[in-house]
Amino acid sequence: MHGGDGLKTQEIISLFKEKNFRATPQRVAVFDYVHEHRTHPDAAEIYEEVKKQYPAFSKTTVYNALSALAENGFIMPVTIDSLSVHYDGNTKMHGHFYCEKCKKIYDFEVQEQSELENFTVKQKAIYYRGICPCCKNT
Amino acid sequence: MHGGDGLKTQEIISLFKEKNFRATPQRVAVFDYVHEHRTHPDAAEIYEEVKKQYPAFSKTTVYNALSALAENGFIMPVTIDSLSVHYDGNTKMHGHFYCEKCKKIYDFEVQEQSELENFTVKQKAIYYRGICPCCKNT
DNA sequence: TTCATTGCAAAAGTTTTGCACGTGC
DNA sequence: GCACGTGCAAAACTTTTGCAATGAA
């Protein structure tokens, strides 16, 4: 196991159909990868890994799938690292810590965040950056 | 006036020297632009605008200056929009709202955010995204 | 004088686009 | 069947790098 949700392909497809989200094998594979690997992968990593299973996979499709999945709330984009957009299968509100040394992204719990009057808020993100405990001791 | 701090060149240079930050005219100009234009400009905008005053300006220098200024706490990077890094002259803790329609970034107030045990936190950011009041009514 | 910074061009990397083809519903 | 998704290559962008020249301290 990878520490994810462990949803079977059929369950993922059902999830998509509930939201009238077209269930292509590519979208299912990207969803599955992001949910099974809670290390905040970016498009490049997802492309490399998913291609091992599905050799015909295109990079464009990864970008399309990620955008569509994020738009529909199936995954959460993390723009903490300005180089590339990372994605998180955990869509519940939580914070992200970016270690400037090892570049790893850590999750942490946060309290409920306030609303903004008159604004339609679709997504809230809390990003911290600095040095993680591991890298402090080296 | 642009709504910024209104620091004179000499004051900016003093500010730099206090922190042993080498005061080149380019760094002063970039600092000045970011502090006078509180619209969260990115490197491209700063380059275009500052070049009007100083034609010999190089894009590399803008990136160098922005990194160095951010590293020393003179400005704050805003990675809310995955396309480019924006910069904020206001380094006091506050939130940023990104409108997905008009792409404008709004500031808002936030409460004190919690610390993280064992982590060295150098920077905290709170990003919301969605639709701003202006764009809702169109 | 010295060493950090600048400026230019070229490279590296991510993301987008255009368009023909394929496929879920 | 039709609209939407996919795949490929090329384009568009942002940011970084290498290196010689310049200038702040």
Q: Residue B80: list chain A partners with CB under 8 A.
A: 79, 125
Judge whether residue A90 contacts strand C, using its CB and a 7 Å cut-off. Answer: no
- How much of chain B, in percent, has pLDDT values that exceed 70? 96
The integer distance in angstroms from the CA atom of B22 to the C1' atom of D24 is 7
**Option in A116, A124, A130 nearest B123 (CB):** A130
What are the tens digits of pLDDT across the range B4-16? 676 789 999 999 9
Is residue B67 within 8 Å of residue B31, measured between CB atoms?
Answer: no
What is the pLDDT at residue A116?
Answer: 97
What is the pLDDT at residue B54?
Answer: 86
Reference B70, options B120, B137, B125; nearest CA is B125
Q: How many other C-beta atoms are found inside a 10 Å radius of the C-beta of residue A94?
A: 14
What are the tens digits of pLDDT across the range B41-80? 999 999 999 999 888 899 999 999 999 999 999 999 999 9
The integer distance in angstroms from the CA atom of B66 to the C1' atom of C8 is 19
What are the tens digits of pLDDT across the range A47-76? 999 999 888 899 999 999 999 999 999 999
Q: Which pLDDT band holds residue A3 (cuts at 50, 70, 90)? A: low
Is residue A82 within 8 Å of residue A72, measured between CB atoms?
Answer: no
Tell me which protein residue sits closest to nucleotide D15, measuring alpha carbon to C1': B63
What is the pLDDT at residue B82?
Answer: 86
What is the pLDDT at residue B123?
Answer: 94
The integer distance in angstroms from the CA atom of B84 to the C1' atom of D18 is 24
Judge whether residue B22 contacts strand D, using its CB and a 7 Å cut-off. Answer: yes
Q: Residue A100: list chain B partners with CB under 8 A.
A: 122
Nearest CA in chain B to A137: B118
pTM, entire model: 0.92
**Option in B85, B123, B124 nearest A82 (CB):** B85
What is the pLDDT at residue B56?
Answer: 87
Q: Which pLDDT band holds residue A4 (cuts at 50, 70, 90)? A: low
DSSP string over A30-98: HHHHHHH--S--BHHHHHHHHHHH-TT--HHHHHHHHHHHHHTTSSEEE--STTS-EEES--SS-EEEE
The integer distance in angstroms from the CA atom of A92 to the C1' atom of D9 is 38
Q: What is the mean pLDDT of residues A99-116?
A: 94
What is the pLDDT at residue B136?
Answer: 87
DSSP A3: S
What is the pLDDT at residue A1?
Answer: 45
Core vs surface per residue B73-106: b (16+ CB within 10 A) or e: ebbbbbbbbeeebbbbbeeeeebbbbbeeeeebb
DSSP string over B77-114: EE--STTS-EEES--SS-EEEEETTT--EEEE--PPPP
Nearest CA in chain B to A127: B125
Q: Which pLDDT band holds residue A80 (cuts at 50, 70, 90)? A: very high
**Option in A79, A129, A136 nearest B80 (CB):** A79
Do A129 and B123 count as a contact with CB atoms less than 8 A apart? yes
